[in-house]
Structure 1
Amino acid sequence: MNANAGVIVPPHIEVDVPLPLPPRKLSKSEQSHYQELIKRLLLEHNAVLIAHYYTDPEIQALAEATGGFVGDSLEMAKFGAKHSADTLIIAGVKFMGETAKILSPEKRVIMPTLEATCSLDLGCPEKEFSDFCDQFPDRTVVVYANTSAAVKARADWVITSSIALDVIDYLDKRGEKIIWGPDRHLGHYIQQKTGADMILWQGHCIVHDEFKTQALKQTMQQHPDAAVLVHPESPKDVIQLADVVGSTSQLIKAAQSLEQEKLIVATDKGIFFKMQQAAPNKTLIIAPTAGEGATCRSCAHCPWMKMNVLENLATIFERNDVEIHVDPTVAEKALIPLKKMVDFVNR
């Protein structure tokens, strides 16, 4: 590891925002009513529902049932760009809607709520991040997809967790030094794996940051025959206990291929919907967020992802506060690193 990585410490941006309240629980009759209404509206408006793995099961199920899609942020944007629908409904958090709009500027992109944000996005404000990057003009700026359009516009590369290792390894072999933002845990994991010269922005995901090492060890003792699957946004001590470390899509594939019948999963429990589809005979156990020092602010489920509910989907075409707009100048700049990401995947 290069000495610079241990000496240069970016500013820490404290994310202290009130979390949204959990949505009210719908009765079965209400769920059925909203599902049928949304299906009809999608057809009437030539719209398609595209959902992230971390949204609630009923949202993911509805996306699949209506010819939409469930996936990670890169897969969501690619699906939307290729689909013939005039309107893309992005069920996720705001940066996902922005990415879809940048890759599909001719389409209308709307979301159940524009208030659904992300602690990684909040912890990497454009001005502070850009000012820091300006101090190191010789470094290549690589940002995680979990960032605003403005931060992407400042970057040289945008990546997702599924291609992060490959991209950084590629850049490292070209002799490039990296500024990485915003997730410090994912950045540290990649740094350890590749040996690349990286300065890590000090952001974190409030979901993955809560997984606790001691509590996970206790769970492993209770289920000694279980495999441990961990997303690399988790703390390094949790990652070290993993049998498999990977992105959402990679963890789902691992659930299919692993011989163990029990899986302890350290990522947002929204993934269980698709993971159980992929491995119906496996027992899935959420990794613990309780234990010494735990706050359980999210309890393994993103509070902003939970804001995507059937009720606000059912009224999405009646409201004027649902459409994603990205400044054309910002979009033009952000498209450059986004296209690098897409081209890298398709090479």
Structure 2
Amino acid sequence: MTVATPQPLCQFQVPETAWVESHLPRFTGAERDAVIQRIKTLLKERDAVLVAHYYVHEDLQRIAEDTGGCVSDSLDMARFGQEHPASTLVVAGVRFMGETAKILSPEKTVLMPTLEAECSLDLGCPAEAFEAFCDAHPDRTVVVYSNTSARVKARADYVVTSSIAVKLVEHLKAQGQKILWAPDRHLGHYINETTGADMVLWDATCVVHDEFRTRGLEELKKAHPEAAVLVHPESPAGVIAQADAVGSTSQLIQAARTLPHPTLIVATDSGIFYKMRQAAPDKTFIEAPTGGHSATCRSCAHCPWMAMNGLHNLLQVLEEGGNAVQVDPAVREGALRSTQRMLDFARQQHTAVLGHGDA
């Protein structure tokens, strides 16, 4: 395995979650109820469906549930939007999720509460630098995480989410293929350790998961010996090594439901707790520690860009119709090819599991 740091890497400024949340409009109880009801009415009037990620505020997740929308990880968000008959998709998440919806459903209007909600992995993998990186390794199959721009997806052979990344790389390894992986180096390292594939890794990280700390987690486990540890594979290797379950957001929610432990320490974005508490209402959930002993926050596990999605801008986009996601048609063609391969592979895996279960 080789971890390369191509130049130039994108430089970006991360908004502080506390700043974002302090600048969101505050609603009283009655105002909040009225806004939520207005959003539900507008979704119906505009033939729109809300597709929300696990990491956005629970108010938005609840609205999606109540109105026949979707709350899920990026793979199921993509599938749901493609298959749903609504003419408008409202994607509550970060920009690449809106782009993916548009890639798969170009005939539909795709709106987002804000187009400023970025992703550090997307920003950390600028297309021109990535294309040069691919040119330098022409013998490798290019596999990119879904947390990337449409243009990066267009250069890839396969797009994956964390839920199917290991299985896809295992599949490619069995065919004798060598892998170029981007952008998350922690997830790439985890895939490499799990599969033993010949991999070259792009060097980028998630601003949330990269902050989980090995020593802090060790100390928290000592304080809660009854707890299981659930870890997203975008986390550092020392954190993953302590996990009782490693997986995508959907897989971690399933682990929360099935593990026998009464207490769960969770190393992923804290927005997931809304669904975890639904899955396991009798269990106690603890955020994994971030930042170390000198940090001002002992656990700051919430994406600042996800925090930009709120009731106020969801209502605004439904009332005004702005924030439409656009993808260049030429770019979309290549991005659709690699993204559709992801969906087709996921369907094959699902069919194989069902077939094995029936046998």
TM category (shorter chain) comes to over 0.9
Distance 1:51 1:19, change over 3 A: same
Residue 299 of structure 1: CA displacement? 1.1
Distance 1:130 1:292, change over 3 A: farther
In the aligned structure 2, how far is the partner of 1:294 from the partner of 1:182?
27
Structure 2 residue aligned with 1:346: 347
2:127–2:152 Cα contact (<8 Å) kept: yes
Structure 2 residue aligned with 1:241: 242
Structure 1 residue aligned with 2:356: none
What does 1:252-267 correspond to in 2, within 5 Å?
252-267=253-268
Segments of 5+ residues of structure 1 without an aligned counterpart are: none
CA RMSD of aligned residues (A): 1.6
Structure 2 residue aligned with 1:119: 120
In the aligned structure 2, how far is the partner of 1:131 from the partner of 1:80?
32
What does 1:1-347 correspond to in 2, within 5 Å?
5=2, 9-11=5-7, 13=9, 15-19=11-15, 21-22=20-21, 23-292=24-293, 294=295, 299-319=300-320, 321-347=322-348
In the aligned structure 1, how far is the partner of 2:299 from the partner of 2:201?
24
> What is the CA deviation profile of residues 174-211 of structure 1, one whole-angstrom value per residue up to 9, with x for unaligned ones?
11111100000000000011111111100100000001
Identity %: 57
> What is the CA deviation profile of residues 309-340 of structure 1, one whole-angstrom value per residue up to 9, with x for unaligned ones?
00111111344641000000000110011111
> What is the CA deviation profile of residues 111-157 of structure 1, one whole-angstrom value per residue up to 9, with x for unaligned ones?
00000010000000000000111011111110000000000001000
In the aligned structure 2, how far is the partner of 1:244 from the partner of 1:18?
29
In the aligned structure 1, how far is the partner of 2:298 from the partner of 2:289?
13
Name the aligned partner's letter for residue 84 of structure 2.
Answer: H
> What is the CA deviation profile of residues 215-261 of structure 1, one whole-angstrom value per residue up to 9, with x for unaligned ones?
11111111110000000000001111111111101000001110001
In the aligned structure 1, how far is the partner of 2:312 from the partner of 2:108?
24
2:39–2:318 Cα contact (<8 Å) kept: no
Segments of 5+ residues of structure 2 without an aligned counterpart are: 349-359
In the aligned structure 2, how far is the partner of 1:172 from the partner of 1:295?
44
TM-score (norm 1): 0.95
In the aligned structure 1, how far is the partner of 2:75 from the partner of 2:89?
14
Distance 1:327 1:16, change over 3 A: closer
In the aligned structure 1, how far is the partner of 2:322 from the partner of 2:101?
17
Distance 1:295 1:169, change over 3 A: farther
| 3-state SS of paired residue (2:159) | strand
Residue 16 of structure 1: CA displacement? 3.2
In the aligned structure 1, how far is the partner of 2:14 from the partner of 2:287?
25
1:206–1:298 Cα contact (<8 Å) kept: no
In the aligned structure 1, how far is the partner of 2:86 from the partner of 2:116?
24
TM-score (norm 2): 0.92
